[in-house]
Amino acid sequence: MADKRFVSTTVEVEGREETRIVELPAFAPDPWDEDARLDVVGQCVPRMDATEKVTGRAVYSADVARVGMLHATIVRSTVAAGSVTEIDVSQALALPSVRGVLLRADVEGIKYDGGQLFDPNIRYAGQPLAAVCAESREVAERAAALVVTRVERAPHAATIRAALAKDAPKVRPKGNTGRNHPAIAERGDVDAAIETADVVVRREYRTPVQLHSCMEPHGAVAEWIGDHVTVWESTQGVFNSRADLARAFGLAHAQVRVIKDYMGGGFGAKNGASVAACIAVALAKKTGAPVRCVFDRAAEQFDTGNRSATVQRVTLAAKKDGTLAAIALEAEVMMGVGGWFAAPGKIYHEMYACPNVRTSETAVYTHTGAMASFRAPGHVEGAFGLECAMDALARELGMDPLALRRKNYAGRDQEKNRPYSDKRLDRCYDEGSKRFQWRARGRPGRGQAAAQDGRFRRGQGMSSLCWGAGGGPPAYATVRINADGTVDVLAGTQDLGTGARTVLAQIAAEALGAGIAHVRTVLGDTERLPYAGNSWGSMTTASVGPAVRMAAEDARTKLLDAASAIMGVPAKHLDARNSVVTSRQRGAAGRELSFAAIGEELGNVMIIGQGSRGPNPDRTAIFTFGAHFAEVEVDTETGRVRVLRLVAAHDSGRIINPRLAESQLEGGILQGIGYALFEERVVDESLGLPLNPTLHDYKVPTLADLPAIESFFVPGADTTANHTGAKGLAEPPNIGVAPAIANAVCDAIGVEVTEIPLTPWRVLAALEKASRSAR
C-alpha cells in the first residue's frame, strides 16, 4: 500500500495547539544541521526594503490613493453600555460632498471581535455605530460629528472587580465569565504536595491592559471593479483577511484580492479583516467609488484589541534544596467584550520541572474593547507572576534565583510529557549570566538592598522564558528564475517590519546557489501568490522558510538539468554557487556558466520550483527559550525606576540573519520595558471610558528610556523542528523583561512590587508599606 499522501500534524499558534491535515511534500531536503557550511544563511544581509523605507517611498495602506476615492469616518459610541434608540443622519447627508452613510441595516452578518458590526446593543465605549463617507476626510469628520445618535444608557462593568460583583450588569447574555470557567488544568496532586512541602510562598500579582499602539493605524482602501473587490489593508495575514471579507460579504475567495505591501507594525492587533476594511468594502460597494477608511489614534488605542489585564494568585511549594513540589495558579483574565482566551497559566505548566501543577483560570468579560493577540499573548502576563514568585521562593529558601531556576530545569516538555526537539536554555543561563556578570546571592537580606542606604539604589534581577514558535504547515512558495538569471521568490506571507522579505530571499539564495543580490521576495498579495498563513505566533520564518527552501531546491534541480544539457556535463557533477554553475567533472572541472548565461540560452523557457511546508515531527515539543538579566536603579524619594542595562540570551535555533534577528530582540525588550514601567490603559470606572487613548497619556518607551541592551542568540540549529533549523524569535524577547525588572527592583529596595507597570507611585506605596510594617 502506498504511503499516505495527507497526514495529520500539530501546529502551535499563539500558545494554542492546532491539528491540521497536510499534504506531504514531494521531497524533503536534507536538514541544514549546525555544522552545515552555508554562504548566505547566517549572514547579516542588509534589509532588502530599507531604501524604500528611508526615502519615504514605501507605500503603506493609508498611502494608497485611487482615482475618485472617498474617505470614511466612523461614528462611535460615547457610552460603555446601553442601546441605540435612533440614529439621525439627515444633517450629515445634507453636507456638500458627503456621499454616503453606512448603518446597521447595511451590514447584516458582518462580524468582528466586538460582535455584529454597528450592533445597536452597546457594550463598550468607542463601539462603531455607523460610518459616513465624503470626498475629503475633513468633510467626512464633520459629517460624522453631525450624526445624531440617541442612546439609552445602561449600567456597565468596566473592571474585573465590577464584572465579578454580585448583580453585575451582564456583558454577555450568558454572564461575565467564560463558558465552563474557571478552566482547570492539573497534573499530579497539588494540594498534597503543598501540604508536605518544606517551603510555601503565596503571592498575588496584577498586570495591566497593554495597548499595541502600532505606529500605522488600522486602515484599508477598497475598490470594486465589477463583482470583485481589491483591498489594500494593513494586515498580518492577507489570506485570513481575504477569508474574513469573503465570508462577511458572501463572496467567493476569487472575488476578493487583499494586498499588503508595506506594513507599519501589527504586534498581534491585525490578524484578520479589520473593521476599517469591512467599512471600506461596504461603503465602496454602496457608493460605487473607492473608499479609504483609517482609524484615528484614539480609536487605534481603544478599539483594535489589547493585552488582557490579569490577576494571578500564585502558590509555589518546594523542598529545602529548592526542588519545586507544586505550582498553583488562580487567575482572572480581562477579555473586554470578546477575543480569545490567552491563558497566562500555560507557562506555569511549561517552564519548570514539577510533578504537581494546577492552574485555574477565569475569563472575565467587561464593557471595554475586546482583547487581541499581543506579542506572546498569555506568556507575557503569566511570566510576570511565575517569575516574580520564583524570586520570592528563592528569597524564602535563601537561594540564588538563577540556581533555583537551574535546579528545576525541565529536560522534557512537562505539560504533555514528550521530548523537546531541542533545548538550549542552559546555554542561555550560562552565556547570559556571564555577559551580565550575574552576582549569585544566597541568604535573605544579602540582596543589593542591604548594602545600600542612599537615595538611589541598584539591584539585579533575572527571569526565564519559553515560547512555542516552531511554525508549521500549510505554507507554499514558488521560486522562479527569470530569463536574465534573476530570481523571484513568491510567497503569500507578509513582512510586518520583521525582515521576512530579506530572510526568505536568503534561504532561497542559499538553496538555489544564487547570489543574494539577484534574489527578491514578492509577498502580500492573495491573487498572485501561493498561500501562507498569518504572520503571528513567531511563525513566518519556520513556516514559510522551509517551503521557500524546498521551492529553491526544486528550481536548482531543474536549473542544473538545464545546465547539464547546455554544458554536456552530467547534472550530478554540477554545482551552483553565487549564481554560477560550475562543473566538478574530471576533464571539464572548473567550467562555468552563469545563471544569466543559462537564462539567455533558455530564453523564456522558465525554470519554476515549487515548495511546501511539511508536517511537524510527531509527539515533539518545539519551543524557543531565553533568559533575561536586568539591572535597575530606583530613586527611593520619587519612586522612579530606571533600567540601566538588560542582557537577553535567546535560543531560537538557527538564525538566518543575525542583524535583523537581534533588532527584533531589542524591539521586544523595549516593548517589555514599556509593559514593566509605563504602559497601562486606564478606564474611568464610573463612566467606563478610556482615559488615556493618546500617545501622550499612554506612555510607550522613547529613545530617552533606552537602557544598554545586550541581546544575542546562543548558537544552534533545530533540525528536528524543520530542515532549515530555524525557529521563531519575534515574541520571546517580550516575555522575560517585566519579571526581570521587577525582580531587580525588589533586589534594589528590598520590597516586592507585585503590580505592573512599576510606576513611581506604586514603588513609593510599596516602600511606604514596608517602612510602616518595619516601625
Partner 1 sequence: MSSVRIRVNDVSRELDVADHETLLAVLRDRLGLTGSKESCGRGECGACTVHLAAAGDRTRPVYSCLTLAAACDGASVTTIEGLGAGTLHPLQEAFVAQDAVQCGFCTPGQIMAAAALLADNPVPDEPAIRAALSGNLCRCGTYPRIVLAVRDAAQRMKAARG
Cα distance between residue 94 and residue 90, in whole Å? 6
Site track for partner 1 across 421-460, x = CB under 8 A? ----------------------------------------
Strand 456-467 to strand 111-112: parallel, antiparallel, or no bridges (unpaired)? unpaired
Note every long-range contact of 435-439, with CB atoms under 8 Å and residues 24 or more positions apart, other chains counting. 435/647, 435/649, 435/710, 435/712, 436/460, 436/462, 436/629, 436/631, 436/645, 436/647, 436/710, 438/402, 438/462, 438/629
Among 283, 327, 700, 735, binds partner 1 (CB under 8 A): 700
Site track for partner 1 across 701-740, x = CB under 8 A? xxxx-x--x-------------------------------
Among 29, 470, 471, 667, binds partner 1 (CB under 8 A): 667
Question: Shortest gap between Cβ of 596 and partner 1 (angstroms)?
Answer: 26
Strand 228-233 to strand 256-259: parallel, antiparallel, or no bridges (unpaired)? parallel
Coil, helix or strand for 580? strand
Cα distance between residue 304 and residue 215, in whole Å? 13
**Looking at the chain, how many residues does it have?**
775
Cα distance between residue 98 and residue 499, in whole Å? 41
Residue 262 touching partner 1 (CB under 8 A): yes
Site track for partner 1 across 58-77, x = CB under 8 A? xxx-xx-x------------
Q: Identify which range of 388-396, 446-454, 526-534, 655-663 contacts partner 1 by CB under 8 A.
A: 655-663
Question: What is the per-residue burial (b if ≥16 Cβ within 10 Å, else e) of 521-537?
Answer: bbbbbbeebbbbbbbbb
Touching partner 1, residues 478-517 (CB under 8 A): 496-499
Closest of 677, 694, 645, 667 to residue 761, by C-alpha: 677
Among 376, 656, 660, 745, binds partner 1 (CB under 8 A): 660
Residue 682 touching partner 1 (CB under 8 A): no
Query: Which residue, 43 or 116, is less far from partner 1 as judged by CB?
Result: 43
Question: Shortest gap between Cβ of 497 and partner 1 (angstroms)?
Answer: 3
Q: Identify which range of 117-125, 169-177, 208-216, 397-405 contacts partner 1 by CB under 8 A.
A: 208-216
Specify whether the CB–CB gap between 683 and 369 falls below 8 A: no
Query: Which residue, 139 or 465, is less far from partner 1 as judged by CB?
Result: 139
Query: Which residue, 82 or 524, is less far from partner 1 as judged by CB?
Result: 524
Number of helices (H) and strands (E) in the chain: give both, helices first: 19, 30
Cα distance between residue 116 and residue 657, in whole Å? 43
How many CA within 13 A on the CB side of residue 749? 31
Specify whether the CB–CB gap between 100 and 355 falls below 8 A: no
Question: With contacts defined by CB under 8 A, how many residues of the chain interact with partner 1?
Answer: 57
Question: Shortest gap between Cβ of 260 and partner 1 (angstroms)?
Answer: 12
Cα distance between residue 428 and residue 425, in whole Å? 5
Among 691, 694, 768, 769, binds partner 1 (CB under 8 A): 694
Question: Shortest gap between Cβ of 495 and partner 1 (angstroms)?
Answer: 9
Among 207, 210, 213, 362, binds partner 1 (CB under 8 A): 213
Query: Which residue, 42 or 473, is less far from partner 1 as judged by CB?
Result: 42
Touching partner 1, residues 593-622 (CB under 8 A): none
Query: Which residue, 249 or 436, is less far from partner 1 as judged by CB?
Result: 436
Among 696, 772, 774, 775, binds partner 1 (CB under 8 A): 696
Q: Which one-letter amino acid corresponds to residue 43?
A: Q
Site track for partner 1 across 264-303, x = CB under 8 A? xx-x----------------------------xx------
Residue 546 grid cell: 522551509
Question: Shortest gap between Cβ of 306 and partner 1 (angstroms)?
Answer: 14
Query: Which residue, 506 or 671, is less far from partner 1 as judged by CB?
Result: 671
Question: What is the per-residue burial (b if ≥16 Cβ within 10 Å, else e) of 739-764?
Answer: bbbbbbbbbbbbbbbbbbbbbeebbb
Coil, helix or strand for 709? strand
Query: Which residue, 267 or 302, is less far from partner 1 as judged by CB?
Result: 267
Compute CA distances 63 → 59, 271, 292, 345, 480, whole Å: 6, 20, 10, 41, 30
Query: Which residue, 249 or 262, is less far from partner 1 as judged by CB?
Result: 262
Touching partner 1, residues 31-60 (CB under 8 A): 46-47, 49-60
Q: Which residues belong to the active site?
A: 731
Q: Identify which range of 222-230, 466-474, 619-627, 657-665 contacts partner 1 by CB under 8 A.
A: 657-665
Coil, helix or strand for 17? strand
Cα distance between residue 659 and residue 17, in whole Å? 30
Alpha helices, DSSP H, located in 134-237? 137-146, 160-164, 190-196
Query: Which residue, 670 or 766, is less far from partner 1 as judged by CB?
Result: 670
The residue ranges that bind partner 1 (CB under 8 A) are 46-47, 49-60, 62-63, 65, 136-138, 212-217, 262-265, 267, 296-297, 496-499, 659-660, 663-664, 666-671, 694-696, 700-704, 706, 709
